[in-house]
Amino acid sequence: MQQQPWAQISPLLKPLTEGGAYKRLIGSMKGEQTKLSLFGMPENGKVPLVLSLFYQQKKSIMIVTSGDFSAQKLYAALEPALGDACLLLPQRTVQLSRARGQNKQTQGLRAKALSRAVSGAPFVIIAGVDAARARLAPPEDFQTHVFTLQKGQRIEINKVMEKLALAGYQRNETVQETGEFAVRGGIVDIFGADGSAVRVDFFGDEIDQIRKLDVLSQRSQEELQQFALSPSVETPLTHKQAQKALLEMDKILKNIPLSAQNEQSERLRQLHDGIAQGDYTQSYEVLSLFLPAYTAVDYLPAGSVLLLDEPLGALDLKLRKDMQNELKNIQQALGITFIYVTHDQEEALTMSDKIVVMREGEIQQIGSPTDIYNEPVNEFVANFIGESNIIDGVMLEDCKVEFCGRTFECVDKGFEKNAPVDVVIRPEDLKIVYAGDGLLQGVVESIVFKGVHYEMMVRTQFFTFMVHSTMAESVGKTVGLSVIPFDIHIMHKSAEAEA
């Protein structure tokens, strides 16, 4: 399917691209190594954002989701508008106990997506996190197995067969599945990894004709001037890599005692013998186990955008932490724009150097993690990013605010005198002191141990405060509360509150 021209897409995106929120969002992406979190982005906002980045900003994009299902869902939404430029990178599974580690359709889709990534043509590739993390050959090695056959090209038929074999294609009597080729005299049939098939006629050492091939009828159709071939497997093996893999397998096989021989060791021996004889069609299994590898993210060209669509949502806490560090290291190494869509506060704060907080498609605030956390512009941001105590107050004058029946020093200025305001105090900024020492006095109503701190609810005459402290106070005890001026943040009353 061909991608839709910008003239057809533009009117649909006009409300987005001409809006101030979109322009602020694009402006926040300036810089070669931007790490941007979109916090609270609505589900229906992702497709317009991707389309505008691709068509208007001329960006190639890799989208990483939490799994294959979410990747397929997003692919179905984007493919009608992007056509051939939209590709799915499905998950693969390495299984030494099987003759083939993954089906040819999956293999072909992965190879097709990676071929597009190294081709120089613009793209939107969508993958689940496991699919994007799968180990691959270096991009330059993969690219050496991408080649084009042209009518009139001088090349020996044996050379074409060698190229096909090195690119992971299997020879058969007739082509029936993707990743196969067949040879009859001076005719070579090829069933490409992308699902297209051709018949190549040779006259001596020259390509005389290239025609489309109907695989079902095995009949040739209209003539083509050229045919681009992608590797049939995503990790085609070079001779040098094969020899290195064989050495590693030799070490393993020699250390397996006879008493420990099993189906897995026999499969490993078969792989070893096959590669030793020049069969590289199982190379993705070998590469994943024995050779240093890259991932699909390493295939992104300079200037690309990596859009991470809540990719860690399905992982447990420890693995999520490990993956956060891995993703940050990848971004620093590649130096590409990194957009992290999340509804998790901690991920937004730790994964980015800039955060965009959104509500129903409207940008509420753009700033650094520190600014967003310490200086929220409204109640929505304050509640969305971390726990907050938000109290009704009155701004008496610059640096002086009244709330809970007392007057407090603060650091905010520029408000009208006696203006109604929202006062924000983070739970960790409140200190529990002796009842007579604090400006506020209350009773501890509840206490919960959170691992690194205790969370206590302290009820005063005017407001019940949440307090985080490493020291616990007993329920029912009367305590004082203190806070320094720097930790009292003043916000204008929201329109909703004033209404």
Bigger pLDDT: 7 vs 474: 474
Q: What angle do CA 325, 131, 191 make, to 5 degrees?
A: 150
- Report whether 265 contacts 272 (CB < 8 A): no
Contact 222, 212 (CB under 8 A): yes
pLDDT at 21: 59
Look at the block and give the residue holding tokens 């061909």: 2
The 10s digit of each residue's pLDDT in 73-116 is 999 999 988 988 999 999 875 544 333 445 677 877 888 899 88
User: What's the rounded mean pLDDT across residues 305-322?
Assistant: 76
Report pLDDT digits (tens) over 368-389.
888 888 888 888 888 777 788 9
pLDDT of residue 250: 85
Does the structure show a pLDDT above 60 at 363? yes
More confident residue, 30 or 455: 455
Lowest mean pLDDT among 33-47, 244-258, 279-293, 440-454: 279-293
Give per-residue pLDDT as tens, 393-432.
999 999 999 999 999 999 999 899 999 999 999 999 999 9
Question: CA-CA distance, 454 to 450, in Å (whole number)?
Answer: 6
pLDDT tens readout for residues 38-71:
766 667 778 888 888 888 788 899 999 888 899 9
Output the CA torsion sign for 451, 453, 457, 463. Answer: negative
Q: What's the token pair of residue 490?
A: 């003043």
| Residues 53, 112: Cα–Cα separation, whole Å | 22
Cα(114)–Cα(389) distance, rounded to whole angstroms?
49
Q: Which residue has the higher pLDDT, 218 or 264?
A: 218
pTM confidence score: 0.74
Residue 140, pLDDT above cutoff 50: yes
Question: What does the pLDDT read at residue 112?
Answer: 86
Between the CA atoms of 219, 224, 228 and 232, what dihedral angle is there, to the nearest 10 degrees?
Answer: 0
> Would you say 92 and 102 are in contact if contact means Cβ atoms under 8 Å apart?
yes
- In this prediction, residue 3 has a pLDDT band, given cuts at 50, 70 and 90, of low
pLDDT of 307 reads 87
Mean pLDDT of the chain: 83
Residue 365, φ and ψ in degrees, nearest 5: -160, 145
Distance CA 383, CA 364 (A): 12
Least confidently predicted of 48-62, 152-166, 251-265: 251-265
Token pair belonging to 307: 């859009």
Residues 6+ apart with CB under 8 A from 107: 92, 178, 179, 193, 232, 233, 234, 284
Which of the given ranges, 139-148, 165-174, 211-220, 288-297, has the highest pLDDT on average?
211-220
Look-up of token digits 């109503």: 445
